[in-house]
Amino acid sequence: MAGLQQCLARISNAIAAFAASRGVTPQNAAVFLVAHETLGLALLVGSVPIAYQLEPSRRSASALMLALPPSLAEWSERMEARGEASATRLKQSATVRWIEEAGVFADPVRLGAALVETIVLRKLLAPVLVPLKLMVALRFAQRWSRRRRVRG
């Protein structure tokens, strides 16, 4: 247990030293975290309507099905029929009816697919998005800190 505490203390100290070298202080650390999380949420919420309109999985699946050999194409068509049957059952579910009654003007099945596509895309782009979000959040926290010093 003491070894774990020492390890966590070393990690905490390393993070604190890294943050301090980049200008993140205890005073603007909350601003940095809020900015980082806000960027992540904005990317998620902003990407869902785009995925809803473009339907990337449907387009890529259609292109893939055209390139398959005949035996796999038949299997793929059966799986597509099963998927359509599943979507039909989902559209008749109480949750989907509740969403439609709530006034959401979107196909709930497509909306769910868009959310999944967005999450998958975010995971694939994480090596680019995470450093980019960290850099933007860091710059925001640094500017916020400078403005406070000028005013104060």
Query: How does pLDDT run across 51-88, given as a tens digit for each residue?
Result: 988 888 877 776 766 777 777 777 777 877 887 787 77
Q: Which helix (H) or strand (E) holds 84?
A: helix 70-91
Q: What average pLDDT does the structure give for the chain?
A: 81
State residue 127's pLDDT score. Answer: 93
d(CA 33, CA 136): 11
d(CA 52, CA 111): 6
Query: How does pLDDT run across 95-118, given as a tens digit for each residue?
Result: 777 767 777 677 777 888 888 889
State residue 142's pLDDT score. Answer: 83
Could you tell me which residues come within 8 angstroms of residue 117 by beta carbon, excluding any fewer than 6 positions away?
51, 56, 57
